[in-house]
Amino acid sequence: MSKTKIRLRGGNFAVIIIVALYAIWTLGRPLSFTAPIASPHLAKSPSVASELSWPSVGQAAVGITPSGVLASHGEQTAIPIASTAKVLTALSVLRKHPIAKGQTGPTITISQDDVAIYNHYLSVDGSVAPVTAGAKFTEYQMLQAIMLPSANNMADSLAIWAFGSLDAYADFAGTLSQQLGMTHTRVGADASGYDPATVSTAHDLVLLGQAAMGNPVLAEIAAQKSAVIPVAGTITNVNFLLGQDDIVGLKTGNTDQAGGVFLGVSKVTVKGTPLTIVSAVVGSNTLYDALAFSVPLLKSTQNNFDTVTILKAGSVVGSYTLPWGGVATATTAHDLSVLAWKGADIPITVNLQPINTRTSQHDRVGTATITASPYSGSTSTAVQLASTPARPDAWWRLRHPL
């Protein structure tokens, strides 16, 4: 046999070996990952929203701590808010001079200027707590005097102690209110809310109430029915709804210019989930009206929550377009349920992983999550392949090695 023929046969054999090795490698290896296409979901609670028991006059709003305002009623125009402004005073002082729960804070000595502030409010028939020059109060006790009997003089005295002047307090409180999203709130010449130039809306007051309940010291004081402080002795909370209808706070307000105002908080459990509901009623004819309007409003807010199944098990939430043809679908492994505001839009985030030719039916490929529900926290379910994806045939694989 000639050397040429031997070389040809050897070359052919090498080609056969290479082709065989290529085929074995191509047909045996897992194919490259197939990227997913997640379906965007914006579900709506199927429950029909209940009609809230709004007050017949003025404006109102409700929300859930810490999720912001859920609903409002009436024109949200800034009007005087009377002593509910003291919640902003107390929160501002605690931001400037924080104290931990169980602590009383620094001791403050009452000056002749503080006595003059007391006498001023006494002369205009404002709410006061008696003081004498040289008397000593802790920061905590002055906060009690502000929040329980709604002492105007203590609000101004504490604000001046904390910030140096009422003007400096107004600057700080104005900045804080803007940070809290209270865009229609303005602080007047005092820290007590007696000045009608201190204005806000029901919407803004709900945001203020949520921030206040986020401060453990302020929430604790607002829930006290009475306390004992220097000079005055026993002081009583003017919020007579406290302890009734699950109400745990927060602040009343009443002046000729403001009418009746009530910023209320109730703690309830709905479908096994604890909720802190904040309501604000502004512009009532009297304080009694504001309080009376608040009870049915808080109760109807509670009734407007329901546990709903947003996605049932087997719901398609994504897909994979297979390069060799066909589509693999991704479905929820379990029901996805959440406590929701009736009729609310509920965004669902779907995160899917790539798959390859080894991924089979029921393999977990991702997660579907409700992250926008502040009522029961983040809720999620596994996402799996609905069926084993079609496999490419040998001819397709040989033509697509990479």
Same domain, 119 and 130: yes
Taking the C-alpha atoms of residue 46 and residue 186, their distance in angstroms, rounded to an integer, is 40
Residues 6+ apart with CB under 8 A from 41: 311, 317, 347, 348, 350, 368
Same domain, 24 and 99: no
Supply the range of the domain harboring residue 270: 59-303
Phi-psi region of 240 (alpha: psi -120 to 50; beta: other; left: phi over 0): alpha
Q: Is residue 52 situated within a structural domain?
A: no
Same domain, 348 and 209: no
CB burial of 217-244 (b: ≥16 within 10 Å; e: otherwise) equals: bbbbbbbbeebebbebeebebbbebbee
**Amino acid in the structure at residue 156:** D
Taking the C-alpha atoms of residue 287 and residue 252, their distance in angstroms, rounded to an integer, is 7
User: Please, which pLDDT band fits residue 359 given cuts at 50, 70 and 90?
Assistant: confident
Q: Is residue 54 situated within a structural domain?
A: no
What pLDDT, on a 0 to 100 scale, did the predictor assign at position 29? 57
Of the listed ranges 71-75, 96-100, 341-345, the least confidently predicted one is: 341-345
Same domain, 206 and 298: yes
Same domain, 126 and 190: yes
**Does pLDDT of 48 surpass 70?**
no
User: Please, which pLDDT band fits residue 39 given cuts at 50, 70 and 90?
Assistant: low
Tell me the pTM.
0.81
Summarize the confidence of residues 85-98 as an average pLDDT.
Answer: 98
Q: Is residue 384 situated within a structural domain?
A: yes
Tens-digit pLDDT profile for residues 196-228: 999 999 999 999 999 999 999 999 999 999 999
Tens-digit pLDDT profile for residues 319-351: 888 887 788 899 999 998 888 888 777 778 888
- Mean of pLDDT over the chain: 87
Of the listed ranges 76-90, 279-293, 355-369, the least confidently predicted one is: 355-369
Same domain, 19 and 160: no
Q: Is residue 51 situated within a structural domain?
A: no
Same domain, 205 and 184: yes
Q: Is residue 53 situated within a structural domain?
A: no
How far out from the chain centre does Cα 79 lie?
25
What angle is formed at CA 76 by the lines to CA 301 and CA 259, rounded to 5 degrees?
Answer: 85
Same domain, 320 and 238: no
What pLDDT, on a 0 to 100 scale, did the predictor assign at position 164? 97
Contact call for residues 92 and 159 (beta carbons, < 8 A): yes
Contact call for residues 52 and 63 (beta carbons, < 8 A): no
Q: What percent of the chain clears pLDDT 70, i.e. is strictly above it?
A: 84
Domain count, the chain: 3
Q: What is the DSSP string of 38-55?
A: EPPEEEE--SPPPPP---
Q: Is residue 372 situated within a structural domain?
A: yes
Taking the C-alpha atoms of residue 317 and residue 384, their distance in angstroms, rounded to an integer, is 10
Q: Among 9-23, 183-197, 268-282, 322-336, name the most confident range.
A: 183-197
Same domain, 276 and 366: no
What CATH number is given to the structural domain containing 90? 3.40.710.10
3-class DSSP assignment, residue 357: coil
